[in-house]
Amino acid sequence: MPSHNERLRTLLDSTKQKTENATTQQCLSSVIEDAIAFDGPIEFNNTKVWLLSGLCLLVACFFGYLIAPKLNLDFIFYFVRTFNQCSPIIFALIMCGFFMWLGLTRNSRIDALSDEIYRKDLIVDAGMIPQKINGVEHAKKMAKVLNDFQRGNHYWNTEKLFNANFSGSEYSFAYQYYCFHYVTERREVVTSTDSEGRTTTRTVMTYVHSRRYGILFDFSFTKEIEIKTGTAIKSQQSFTPASIEFNKRYWVKCKDDKRASKFLKPTVVLAFEDLDEQLKGVHFEVNNHGKACLSTAVEVFENTRKFGLRQPQQFLSEINEKNEVNRLNELLLFAHKLMTLTDNNFK
């Protein structure tokens, strides 16, 4: 008869496999229904782990008690000399720490699976269809047409790409949601001096990993413009709106100042200011072919679940509800707002 922990491992392995393959709400619901049908709590029983950890601690204390009378004031010298005597204590403490770590962390796998199920549910509820791509090749391709993908100097990869549609009050449009991963390589010369005063230098390489989350869509109301958060080099700045608040947060690069001035009317400027309050690191860009991207440095698919596999019945109810990706909605509504504000038919 398999133990509770063995049956739970089997359930979690099956849950992970089914979640990865799930494409519909019904598939996700069936995954959680398996957890509801499980005989027992969805948690590992750590009784044996805590007992083993305590036993190892007792063993360490016992051997410590045996050698304690032999200790003298020159402890370090004595410790090195009698390492063989102390090795059982060291081993017992290591095993004690291992069992404690196992007991404290193995239930985290359940929470990670709950996160994965909830994230997949958000994707399904948003009607997003995952695309199979070569992430490195896709990032290189996009870097040729949009400057937002020209970040970092070491590695580019489009980790996720989904196709979806948005339907607004005035406009409906197709879009792609993406997660773009880039790495910046930095070289740093480190100088060190040894005990004899000799100085040596060496080059240290550091790698900074960053991600952008955004949407790609068609935008026909302006072109060849970039609006970015951050500080610009003066030679890069090509247009400055009248708003002081906007200029504190964004800088604009464009090929045609008149076109930029027409696009960045007061209502549009105010909309960008409001967006910066909600999402950090905003970047909006339209290339000369009308391909637009709107991205942020903030994770869009935030984990806002209230329940998980440990409360399967409540988790099922939560999954069966319509769950919104609030930050994605902010990007989509902003893109829609730009269309309505810059289309003369809606003035």
Instruction: Tell me the residue length of the chain.
Output: 347
Of 337, 323, 333, 293, give the one whose Cα is nearest residue 127.
Answer: 323
| Of residues 298 and 51, more confidently modeled | 298
Mean pLDDT of 233-237: 52
What is d(CA 277, CA 311) in angstroms, rounded to the nearest whole number?
A: 35
Dihedral over Cα of 205, 283, 115, 163: its sign: negative
Place of tokens 């392995």: 13
Mean pLDDT of 20-44: 86
On the CB side of 278, CA atoms within 13 Å amount to 15
Residue 64 has pLDDT above 70, yes or no: no
The structure tokens listed for 130 are 């995952």
| Of residues 43 and 326, more confidently modeled | 326
Mean pLDDT of 154-179: 94
Q: Which residues of 187-206 are buried (b: 16+ CB within 10 A; e: fewer)?
A: eeeeeeeeeeeeeeeeeeee
In tens, the pLDDT along 95-153 reads 767 767 666 667 788 888 999 999 899 999 888 999 999 999 999 999 999 999 999 88
The predicted pLDDT at position 43 comes to: 79
What percent of the chain has a predicted confidence (pLDDT) above 70?
A: 84
Place of tokens 């893109």: 335
| Of residues 97 and 33, more confidently modeled | 33
Q: For residue 67, with 0-12 CB atoms within 10 Å meaning exposed, 13-18 middle and 19 or more buried, which class applies?
A: middle
Of 3, 1, 12, give the one whose Cα is nearest residue 107.
Answer: 12
Mean pLDDT of 248-259: 88
What pTM does this model have?
0.77
The structure tokens listed for 303 are 């984990």
Mean pLDDT of 208-232: 89
Cα–Cα distances in angstroms (integers) from residue 272 to residues 209, 241, 288, in the given order: 27, 12, 21
**Contact between residue 297 and residue 280 where contact means Cβ atoms under 8 Å apart:** yes
Average pLDDT of the chain, as a whole number: 84
Residue 39 has pLDDT above 80, yes or no: yes
Question: How large is the C-alpha radius of gyration of the chain?
Answer: 29
The DSSP annotation for 34-51 comes to HHHHSSS-SS---HHHHH
The DSSP annotation for 112-132 comes to HHHHHHHHHHHHHHTT-EE--
